[in-house]
Amino acid sequence: MNKIFEVPLYPYERSPDQDAAAPVRHPVVIIGAGPIGLGMGIDLAQQGVKVVIVDDNDKVSFGSRAICFAKRPLEILDRLGCGQPMVDKGVEWDVGKVFFDDREVYKFELLPEKGHQRPAFINLQQYYFEEYLVNRVREMEAEGAPIEIRGGNKVAAIGTHPDHATLEIDTPEGSYNIEADWLVACDGAGSPTRQMLGLDFVGRVFEDNFLIADVIMEADFPSERWFWFDPPFNRGQSALLHKQPDGVWRIDLQLGWDIDKDEEKKPENVIPRLKAMLGDDVEFELEWVSIYTFQCRRMEKFRHGRVLFAGDAAHQVSPFGARGANSGLQDTDNLGWKLKLVIDGKADETLLDSYDIERIHGADENILNSTRSTDFITPKSEMSRLLRDSVLDLAEHYEFARPLVNSGRLSVPCTYDGSPLNSADALDGPIKTRPGSPCPDVPLGDEFLLPKLGNKFILLTIDADAPDVIEEDGVEVTRLALSVKDDRTGALKERYLGHASSAVYLIRPDQHVAARRPSFDDNLFRAAIRRATGKE
Amino acid sequence: MTDLILTPNINRADDFYAELLAAHEGLSKDDSDALNARLVLVLANHIGDREVLSQALKAAEK
Ligand SMILES: Cc1cc2nc3c(=O)[nH]c(=O)nc-3n(C[C@H](O)[C@H](O)[C@H](O)COP(=O)(O)OP(=O)(O)OC[C@H]3O[C@@H](n4cnc5c(N)ncnc54)[C@H](O)[C@@H]3O)c2cc1C
């Protein structure tokens, strides 16, 4: 028992609910203590909503699975109170290299834009990611926050009602029932909840297999993402090498369609493949090996009355582009504040329909990007392979072809264009901060903008007057006043003003822009607040 | 917005056609196909205009 994923972190314990005379009603029950369920639980409990997370397991993810975590989820994790340990442990990287056959064809940098607190990406094993989330839950419990994880609790049946859901839960000591005003299903790609409710999950399966291996080795490869198309050690296929903490390296090898998965997974077959890639003299140890067939699919709707789906349960993407866990955390970020307003009676239930609209928009964008990457990496016809290889050949010599190379378009947050919560853009400002956009970070002296925005509705004023606080129908909005006078790097002007000389932004608790104008106007901003909370 | 030019636009068209054939001379079918693919990509980048490129694809499809 030395690996963290072998240690029970939330072992089964008997709950008083199991001895209650009648099923106990909870405001929110979350199914699944994966990255998304844990993130959801922390978000809600931080806002004072009582949550119970149930999981049939009692450990973090077996083996690594996700390794790349993007800037946006790190910013979200900062607000959840556990971004720092992730960044401290993670391997930062911003350089990727693309190889074709035995040649390096080009090299790219991920975040040429400076002035962000968080790096473009870190690599961190999913088991650490989940462990730090569990640590955060424990820390909150110790502070008396209303959050609880029940390990060894397997949801066996679900009943849906107009104003609640019922759950039958199996435990090592028999089954019991509870009720939930709201049920959030974060139970992964195979989502039993989805199946129990008989809901669809449609999309595309890619007819290819990938061997995913995490190896422990002493190697002096740099912290860069290396991607090979058709390398000598894996002819006709692709390969990836990427560094994780603790001297663990992620290796992906494309295997093709007609293979015997069980045979290929055996160490006697895996090791020669790795030796061909790494060279005979490199000593390594296998930490984890698995074989995946990738899929891109989503549910038609993420909200089904009192049951809300988030993470892989709602949508699944191929991992090229690191969009799975990254986008799942954006689901919880979108849902958390809305659910809180609804539970507090400050917004109507229909506000949750905007979760559906906005996150389906996000899922579609991710699916589109992952599908295109997968099509480039695994060409489906002779001509698509020829065009792919031509792009790679040209990329070696000419800059123009490099943007066409697609070894994964790495996860960036989506802009909720057309969301019913947006007010019409009324500022001659930068396109990247139009209504619906996630707020870009800006350095403010020794600090940064995003931590100052926090988790609440904010009225960001730049060289504009406004009241310090506005309250509109139970929703409180606090002002954050900034001035270009303090904008030493020019990033505030570049990212939030553009051609305008002043601006007032209404920013949602998930740090997406809801409205913007050159100056404050009481009526118009009150309307924007109502709109952003589903009341107009 | 510019439209795809579908009227004669190449100076000394016979010379161009000869140059195109010459580029393929002596190449195997595979190498010729690859040359064509690279040529398409180089020309597409030169054109750049997404609308013109879509029109060109449509014109070539029939
Ligand atoms: C090879 C690979 C590489 C990847 N790389 C990346 C990457 O680099 N970046 C990235 O962002 N994503 C990546 N992903 C995707 C990422 O792993 C998933 O998106 C992520 O794990 C989804 O989290 P989740 O919480 O939605 O689901 P899961 O992590 O699947 O968690 C679901 C939880 O629900 C529990 N559960 C299931 N059924 C029940 C039940 N009946 N009762 C109670 N509990 C139940 C399970 O025990 C589990 O704990 C990768 C995936 C793979 C396979």
Q: Where do the domains of chain A lie, and which CATH numbers do they carry?
A: 3-14+22-90+121-200+296-367 (3.50.50.60), 431-532 (3.40.30.120)
CB contact residues (below 8 A), chain B span 16-55, against chain A? 33-34, 37-38, 40-42, 45
- What are the Cα distances from residue A30, in Å, to A80, A155, A186, A508? 17, 11, 7, 24
- Does the distance separating the beta carbons of B34 and A386 come in below 8 Å? yes
Residue A411 pLDDT level (bands cut at 50, 70, 90): confident
**Residues of chain B contacting A387 with CB distance shorter than 8 Å:** 37, 40-41
> A518 with A500: CB under 8 angstroms?
yes
Q: What per-residue confidence (pLDDT) applies to B50?
A: 96
- Cα(A188) to centroid of ligand 1, in Å? 5
Q: What per-residue confidence (pLDDT) applies to A2?
A: 63
* Amino acid identity at A135: N
Per DSSP, A145 falls in state: -
> A204 with A370: CB under 8 angstroms?
no
Q: What per-residue confidence (pLDDT) applies to A113?
A: 78
Cα(A419)–Cα(A417) distance, integer angstroms: 6
Per DSSP, A163 falls in state: T
Mutate to test the pocket of ligand 1, among A40, A52, A53, A56 (most ligand atoms within 8 A of CB): A56
In a mutational test of the A interface, the residue from B27, B45, B46 whose CB has the highest number of chain A CBs within 10 Å is B45
Phi, psi (degrees; rounded to nearest 5) at A380: -95, -15
Residue nearest to atom 27 of ligand 1 (CA): A188
Q: What per-residue confidence (pLDDT) applies to B2?
A: 80
Tokens for A184, please give them: 């959030």
Tokens for A218, please give them: 């002493």
Per DSSP, A162 falls in state: T
Cα angle value A360/A331/A63 (rounded, 5°): 115
Percent of chain A at pLDDT above 70?
99
Q: Which residue has the higher pLDDT, A536 or A477?
A: A477
Cα(B17)–Cα(B7) distance, integer angstroms: 16
Helix, strand, coil percentages in chain B from 3-state DSSP, rounded to 5:
70, 0, 30
Q: Helices A71-80 and A324-343 meet at what angle, rounded to 10?
A: 40
> A150 with A53: CB under 8 angstroms?
yes
* Amino acid identity at A71: K
pLDDT one-digit tens code per residue, A4-54: 788 899 999 999 999 999 999 999 999 999 999 999 999 999 999 999 999
ipTM of the complex: 0.95
Residue nearest to atom 20 of ligand 1 (CA): A325
Residue nearest to atom 31 of ligand 1 (CA): A34
> A536 with A527: CB under 8 angstroms?
yes
- Nearest alpha carbon to residue A419 among A302, A534, A336: A534
Phi, psi (degrees; rounded to nearest 5) at B56: -65, -40
Which residues are paired to A351 by β-bridges? none
Cα(A95)–Cα(A217) distance, integer angstroms: 21
| pLDDT mean over A281-295 | 91
- Nearest alpha carbon to residue A449 among A396, A387, A494, A404: A494
| pLDDT mean over A469-494 | 96
Q: What is the mean pLDDT of chain A?
A: 94
Tokens for B49, please give them: 């205009």
- Does the distance separating the beta carbons of A390 and B37 come in below 8 Å? yes
Cα(A210)–Cα(A253) distance, integer angstroms: 6
Atom of ligand 1 at shortest distance to CA of A156?
41
DSSP A376-410: HHS--SHHHHHHHHHHHHHHHH-GGGGGG--S---
- Nearest alpha carbon to residue A61 among A230, A199, A189: A189
In a mutational test of the A interface, the residue from B36, B39, B41, B43 whose CB has the highest number of chain A CBs within 10 Å is B41
Cα(A167)–Cα(A155) distance, integer angstroms: 7
pLDDT reading at A439 higher than 50: yes
> A8 with A30: CB under 8 angstroms?
no
**Residues of chain A contacting B38 with CB distance shorter than 8 Å:** 390, 393-394
| pLDDT mean over A291-320 | 94
| pLDDT mean over A331-353 | 97
- Does the distance separating the beta carbons of B45 and A390 come in below 8 Å? no
- Does the distance separating the beta carbons of A387 and B34 come in below 8 Å? no
**Residues of chain A contacting B33 with CB distance shorter than 8 Å:** 386
- Cα(A358) to centroid of ligand 1, in Å? 21
> A321 with A373: CB under 8 angstroms?
yes
pLDDT reading at A112 higher than 90: no
Least confident window among A159-163, A366-370, A477-481, B15-19: A366-370
Percent of chain A at pLDDT above 90?
87
- Name every protein residue with a CB atom under 6 angstroms from any ligand 1 atom: A 31-37, 54-57, 61, 65-68, 126, 154-155, 186-188, 192, 212, 292, 311-313, 319, 322, 324-326, 328
Q: Which residue has the higher pLDDT, A222 or A347?
A: A347
| pLDDT mean over B40-51 | 97
Q: What per-residue confidence (pLDDT) applies to A274?
A: 93
Kind and range of the H or E run holding A153: none
Tokens for A291, please give them: 């074989």
Can you tell me whether residue A42 is helix, strand or coil? Answer: helix
Strands A154-161, A164-171: pairing is antiparallel
Q: What per-residue confidence (pLDDT) applies to A61?
A: 78
pLDDT reading at A81 higher than 80: yes
Beta-strand (E) ranges in A14-136? 24-31, 51-54, 68-70, 91-92, 95-100, 103-109, 121-123
CA distance A405 to chain B (A): 12
- Cα(A274) to centroid of ligand 1, in Å? 26
Residue A430 pLDDT level (bands cut at 50, 70, 90): very high
Atom of ligand 1 at shortest distance to CA of A154?
42
Which residues are paired to A496 by β-bridges? none
**Residues of chain B contacting A389 with CB distance shorter than 8 Å:** 34, 37
Which residues are paired to A515 by β-bridges? A506
Strands A315-316, A174-185: pairing is unpaired
- What are the Cα distances from residue A183, in Å, to A89, A169, A180, A259? 33, 14, 6, 40
Residue A111 pLDDT level (bands cut at 50, 70, 90): low
| pLDDT mean over A82-97 | 94
- Nearest alpha carbon to residue A472 among A506, A449, A433: A506
| pLDDT mean over A426-434 | 97
CB distance from A387 to chain B under 8 Å?
yes
pLDDT reading at B1 higher than 70: no
| pLDDT mean over A443-461 | 95
- Cα(A95) to centroid of ligand 1, in Å? 27
Can you give the pTM of this predicted structure? 0.95
CB pairs under 8 A between A and B: 25
- Does the distance separating the beta carbons of B33 and A389 come in below 8 Å? no
Phi, psi (degrees; rounded to nearest 5) at A382: -60, -45
Phi, psi (degrees; rounded to nearest 5) at A301: -135, 145
Q: Helices A71-80 and A35-46 meet at what angle, rounded to 10?
A: 40
Q: What per-residue confidence (pLDDT) applies to A1?
A: 44
